[in-house]
Amino acid sequence: MNSFEFNKIFAAVLVAGITAMFAGFVAENVIHAHALEKDAVAIEGVESSGGGAAVEKLAEPVLHLVASADVEKGKKLSKACASCHSFDKGGPVKTGPTLWGVVGSSKGGASGFGYSSGMMEMGGKWGYTDLNKFLWKPKKFVSGTKMNFIGLKKPEDRAAMIAWLRTLSDSPKSLPGDSEIAAEAAELAPPEEDMADVTPEAGEEIEQEAEKATKVEPHAGDEITVIPAKKPAVEETPQEIIEEILEKVTPEAPKKMIELNN
């Protein structure tokens, strides 16, 4: 194979490479991929990946439903809880604490039960809004909770459950008032806009990396530090640079040596 043949092959490979790079560059700049807002195919029991963390799903507000909710329905739904909870006054501690009087009580406050540290760190009382959020997805509301229960998905079910839990008391807490209902609706309203993408542009990162790379740390103990940090605007031959350095360091003699060497 003569060198002309080789050049042709080399050029072909080079052109192919450049074309591929250019195509990639164009594709990246012309087409912007967006995360789906919703899963294209909804799968029962699987959390949506839609939109990433920015559009996190929240529990639907239910406080406006509690006053008119079906208490009997709540009682029926409590069968799902009964394996772990007693709802009776003075009832036994099971896998979970007794839930008599839980509405309005301190979180993690039932006596004789060893709560998770996540629950103990929550603080505050079981108001209606917190119960809604907890019953929606226990693990989301109390990270590391011991309550191994998936949650009540339907807003009506949570409203009914809360309405029933409210009755389990000698002096039931008053029903959610207008301001409480409005506050919950505001807190759990779906986010209006996706949050702006805060990850830095790829180019920015590369720039930062490049900046780091060009900073050359001087070595301790270096005596001659006249080598320019940046490339001089006018290209100098190595010979000229050496002469320049030697000129600064020593007078005449070495220059002569260089001349002799040439």
Closest to 115 in 3D by CA, of 102, 128, 127? 102
Closest by CA position to 99, among listed 132, 139, 131: 131
Count of other CB atoms within 10 angstroms of residue 255: 14
143 contacts ligand HEC (rule: CB under 6 A): no
Tell me whether residue 103 or residue 246 sits nearer to ligand HEC (CB atom): 103
- Residue of the chain from 71, 84, 93, 241 that contacts ligand HEC (CB under 6 A): 84
Rounded Cα–Cα distance for residues 140 and 133 (Å): 8
Give the range of 44-52, 145-153, 237-245, 253-261 binding ligand HEC by CB under 6 A. 145-153
Site for ligand HEC in 10-69 (CB under 6 A): none
Specify the residue, 96 or 246, whose C-beta has the smaller distance to ligand HEC: 96
> Tokens representing 31?
């087409």
User: How far is residue 82's CA from residue 118's CA, in Å, rounded to a whole number?
Assistant: 22
Provide the 3-class DSSP secondary structure of residue 106.
strand
Which residue, 62 or 147, has its beta carbon nearer to ligand HEC? Answer: 147
Minimum Å gap between C-beta 61 and ligand HEC is 18
Give the list of residues 6+ apart from residue 95 with CB closer than 8 angstroms, or none.
83, 84, 85
Tokens for 252, please give them: 């005449």
Per CB under 6 A, 102 contacts ligand HEC: yes
Binding track over 160-179 against ligand HEC, x by CB under 6 A: -x------------------
Task: Name the residues that contact ligand HEC, by CB under 6 A.
Answer: 80-81, 83-85, 95-97, 99, 102, 107-110, 115-116, 118-119, 135, 142, 145-149, 152, 161
